[in-house]
Structure 1
Amino acid sequence: MKKLLFPVLALLPVLSFAQTAKDFSIKGKVANATTPTKVYLVYNVGSNNVTDSSTVTNGDFTFKGAVAEPVTATLFLDRKNLGFGKYVDINFPDGRPSTSADGLAFFLEQGNMNIAIKDSAAKADITGSQLNVDNKTLKGQLQTITDKARALTAEAKKASPEQQRSPAFQNAMQVKYKALQAEQKGILKNFITTHPDSYLSLLALSSYGGPSPDVNDLEPLYNGLSDKLKVSDGGRAMKAGLDGLKVTAIGATAPDFTQNDVNGKPVSLSSFKGKYVLLDFWASWCPPCRQENPNVVKLYNKYKGKNFTVLGVSLDKNTGRADWLAAIKNDGLTWTQVSDLQYWNNLAAKLYNVQSIPANFLIDPQGKIVARDLRGDDLDAALEKYLGKI
């Protein structure tokens, strides 16, 4: 919820650049610039990282280049000419900016834009770019969500460890977070529907989907975008991603897979056909998973007599087998547990496009996915809906 300047379609497959790169030009001004002063521009073209620099002369600087589609970029102001290394955190070899850097995150796109720096680059004004105007508008609308999220996080941290482990406290916090997420999605949806031709709508659509995107929710919004956006590389990547999500969408037949249980015996999802199955992705190293486990245990014991079971799939590492087994014992997970111990490369997790855990899918006796990503009271309500009240 912190920023809208995120990687393009981070949760979906990205296609290689196919469109022709076209020129961009940046003309900038720095107020009260002393000599020497430099400005650095960092951005990506495909998989290539580009770092450019410009010396400020009489308060002016310029950059020129070419991009096929809008890309995220960062502009660093070096008033003391200390060199680009000053603005890169050595703890991150990928060149992540240092927290002390005076930088401006923005969208770099084709055409001409102007950047005026007064006191700091971070507060610079950008003109000549509708995309950056759109981003400023949307970030302003989402600021209230950011503020509320901070307050909610602070509230959770103030709770005692005993409270934080309490299912009642977890459920109460989950209700608050869900309300906040719904508010954020409402803002993003409004932006997408009112800006069908803005490249930012593609990015907003990816953010709208979150870590567990629902194609039935996303596809109507995608269909409302302009044809210009749909034929862009980002648009085609989004379409490919949506088609991939249909494999595990609500209403789809749950893809079958086989992994070994704790005793090394192969277990297939299809072997549970005829029952309602909660396919539960988790890991021993995942605190939210461990916090949710008591709720799953409670509901398993409540409904296991009504043609219901759970199949746990762990994303533990090969070196974490002992931790996996210990967590199963300590958390009282008495249902079938499987894993290939390949961490995020777990083949079942990849098959189900699991991007974060805990994640789950409720599968009916015919093998159809009827619900997903259920936690706390929501899981109880879904089981009651399909299995009957107890």
Structure 2
Amino acid sequence: MTKYILFTAGLVLPSVLFAQQINFNLKGDIKNFNSSGKAYLQYRTDAGTVADSAEVQKGSFSFKGPLPEATKATLTITRNTENFQQQRNADRLTLYLENGNINLQATDSIAKAAINAGQLNKDNIELTVALKPYTDRLRAEYRAYGSLPKHQQTSQAEAELDKRVEAIENEQKAILVPFIKSHQNSLIALDALKTYGGYFPEAAEVEPLYTALSKQVKSSKAGAQHQKWLDGWKKTAVGATAPQFSQADKDGKQVSLASFKGKYVLVDFWASWCGPCRNENPNVVSAYNQYKDRSFTILGVSLDSNRDAWLKAIDDDKLAWTQVSDLKYWKNEVAELYGVRAIPQNFLIGPDGKIVAKNLTGDKLSAKLNEIYKDNKQLTTASTRGK
């Protein structure tokens, strides 16, 4: 068994769960495995992403060890000379490393393995089965869009995809709410709550479900993280005064949000490694060029950890506005303050410092700015306050 820890950007997983020492013993058996291969186990700890590997011998493999608490992990199987890092259709399974024995039995694919383990994995299987009809439909929608010729993957087509995806996600809430309420003592309820809230949760919708969870779940590290996100979502509701912050720009100079008072400013969270962010940048550039002379600007907040990659992306994507970052990846202090757990994400802040709108992607940003400036024709660079 070979184990190492990645301290750089890697697989992003929900990390720690109950704050109590565990000892897991994971054994797997794949009946029709007639080749050489390896098993890879990845999970997060406070030290970074752990990547553990073991040889698959006659279809069998095993992992064991202590952990500070139960942890969500991914198990991937490679065959012959397959490259673990480059697999497109990986044979992969999500499970929980919990105390005691975890036995996996599969015929030919670990993704379809039967899991015999403790209550945490049983609850996870229950949630996975309940959501399968919806996850299958979501995957089908994304596959259909991805199979379109590039010239048909337009902003309009993407907007239509977003509507269909949103409709499916709203339907699955009917499954998630009763699951959360009936599993208030299980950490899997937190996973269900994350799915319920989606990428951009609203505090008013999520808080009642979180509040009803057991004290043990809320006091876990995962529960504490959710509370931190919830605090950020409360502060960033439309109509709220935007949380103030200051962070270093690419030249090391501190830039404060307060310095933009009197303007409409889009606080835009992104990163060089984020594909959807890079795809969205042309829309942001277009809106910036159209309204930059009319009391509108952008403040980019990058979740990069590599300074060179960050600066190259700024140059490549022609991002002419102010950019800041503390190069702490998902631990970016502004991102944590704003409860950001997915990017791209943005917040449009008005001249009075209050949040006017958020998550304006595609044509939505230009449409919102057009609405604002159509109703406020007096807002020009010459009349901007705070200069």
Asked if 1:324 corresponds to 2:310, the answer is no
Percentage of pairs with the same residue: 35
Can you list the C-alpha shifts for 1:142-184, whole angstroms capped at 9, x where unaligned? 223333233322332344434434x433332332333334344
Contact 1:261 1:267 in 2 (8 A): no
Of the structure 1 ranges 239-248 and 357-366, higher mean CA displacement relative to structure 2 is found in: 239-248
SS of equivalent to 1:339: strand
Structure 2 residue aligned with 1:234: 222
Match of 2:190 among 190, 194, 202: 202
Contact 2:244 2:256 in 1 (8 A): no
In the superposition, the TM-score normalised over structure 1's length comes to 0.65
Match of 1:339 among 323, 345, 354: 323
Equivalence map 1:50-69=2 (5 Å): 69=69
Taking a change above 3 Å as real, the CA distance of residues 195 and 386 of structure 1, as seen in their structure-2 partners, is: farther
2-structure distance, mates of 1:125, 1:114 = 8
Contact 1:279 1:310 in 2 (8 A): no
Match of 2:161 among 155, 173, 196: 173
Asked if 1:313 corresponds to 2:300, the answer is yes
User: Could you list the runs of 5+ residues in structure 1 that have no partner in the other structure?
Assistant: 78-84
Structure 2 residue aligned with 1:270: 258
1-structure distance, mates of 2:318, 2:69 = 48
Match of 2:283 among 255, 273, 292: 292
Task: State the 1:338 CA deviation.
Answer: 0.2
Task: State the 1:255 CA deviation.
Answer: 1.4
1-structure distance, mates of 2:312, 2:43 = 41
Taking a change above 3 Å as real, the CA distance of residues 75 and 258 of structure 1, as seen in their structure-2 partners, is: closer
Asked if 1:279 corresponds to 2:270, the answer is no
Task: State the 1:26 CA deviation.
Answer: 6.7
Structure 1 residue aligned with 2:359: 373
1-structure distance, mates of 2:333, 2:60 = 53
Taking a change above 3 Å as real, the CA distance of residues 266 and 184 of structure 1, as seen in their structure-2 partners, is: same
Contact 1:292 1:376 in 2 (8 A): yes
2-structure distance, mates of 1:380, 1:170 = 16
Structure 2 residue aligned with 1:7: 13
Taking a change above 3 Å as real, the CA distance of residues 38 and 86 of structure 1, as seen in their structure-2 partners, is: closer
Task: State the 1:352 CA deviation.
Answer: 3.9
Taking a change above 3 Å as real, the CA distance of residues 298 and 172 of structure 1, as seen in their structure-2 partners, is: farther
1-structure distance, mates of 2:76, 2:312 = 47
Can you list the C-alpha shifts for 1:49-98, whole angstroms capped at 9, x where unaligned? 66689999xx9999876555432356789xxxxxxx96896554xxx9x7
Match of 2:146 among 157, 160, 167: 157
2-structure distance, mates of 1:100, 1:170 = 24
Match of 1:130 among 114, 119, 132: 119
Contact 1:41 1:52 in 2 (8 A): yes
User: Could you list the runs of 5+ residues in structure 2 that have no partner in the other structure?
Assistant: 1-10, 377-387
Asked if 1:70 corresponds to 2:76, the answer is no
- The letter of the residue matching 2:259 is S
Can you list the C-alpha shifts for 1:337-386, whole angstroms capped at 9, x where unaligned? 10147767577556545454432112233312243212346557766887
2-structure distance, mates of 1:353, 1:327 = 26
Can you list the C-alpha shifts for 1:260-290, whole angstroms capped at 9, x where unaligned? 599x998643233244433334578743313
Contact 1:41 1:51 in 2 (8 A): yes
2-structure distance, mates of 1:123, 1:290 = 38
SS of equivalent to 1:7: coil
Of the structure 1 ranges 225-234 and 240-249, higher mean CA displacement relative to structure 2 is found in: 240-249
Asked if 1:362 corresponds to 2:352, the answer is no
2-structure distance, mates of 1:207, 1:44 = 20
Contact 1:283 1:324 in 2 (8 A): no
Q: CA RMSD in A?
A: 5.1
2-structure distance, mates of 1:183, 1:229 = 26
